[in-house]
A = this chain, B = another copy of it.
């Protein structure tokens, strides 16, 4: 799957016609045809429905086009930032986020950090728990949040908080019986996230129940889990705070035996332990996470619009 294939995919989707798209891309129809064909083969599905009047996106193609555009956009940004970097520059402390910024209180962290250390500044960067170690080692981030334990010799860590997780069941999937056993729940379709250590916790608390859940769909990230749960596609494990609004709107129920707890940790390179920016950031984050968030406080307060 190469960049030029995605660009072709996008262009064909726009033009809805191979001939015109080929003209736009300044290549021949036949070359474009094989590009699309190879891309479809690689992805293992049909992106377009071929009609006598042109190429029409399939539903699958429609959904993947959005993702393809994400890739192209990210690549654009890379190119543009390269242009920018050919001149200006910026130095700062960089913090990796393994989940949504609001939950991690980035706004409060930034505010306090820059109050205490006016000259430097914080850059937040999204990255999955699983990548944190790697990104720390190569200096892309100075500190990083991640779930679970991650004992590696060159990385130090501190537990920031315990995150409560729960099993959410879309109302569509509920049986009449209000009480469900693990065997009943595990038989339902599950929505799975690769590389997210939430399930290990559930397994612990369930103890004996060794049955593995029935993985119906493997999702890509937490956001997609939310989409799929809302669509009633399956049961999933979510953070409690994320599940709450879904419960309140009546779309899901929480399975009362499915509660778990997982540590939210903050890690940094042992070598950088004494670096001022790291020490400072660590102190700030510990301070911000000492107290639970509440209305008049932290991330909520400075999101207020009035």
Q: Which residues of A contact B (CB under 8 A)?
A: 1-4, 6, 13-14, 43-45, 57, 59-60, 62-71, 73-92, 94, 102, 107, 110-111, 114-115, 118, 121-123, 125, 127-128, 131, 134-135, 137-141, 171, 194, 216-221, 224, 227-228, 230-231, 233, 241, 244-245, 248-251, 292-295, 300, 302-306
Contacts and interface: CB of A to CB of B under 8 A. Distances in A.
A84 B220 contact: yes
A145 to B, nearest CB: 16
A240 to B, nearest CB: 9
A80 B194 contact: yes
B79 A1 contact: yes
A249 B295 contact: no
B81 A249 contact: no
A123 to B, nearest CB: 5
B121 A62 contact: no
B127 A69 contact: yes
Given A1-B3, A295-B304, A121 B227 contact: yes
A233 B66 contact: no
11 contacts: A66-B94, A67-B78, A67-B81, A69-B140, A73-B74, A80-B194, A102-B303, A111-B248, A123-B227, A244-B302, A245-B302
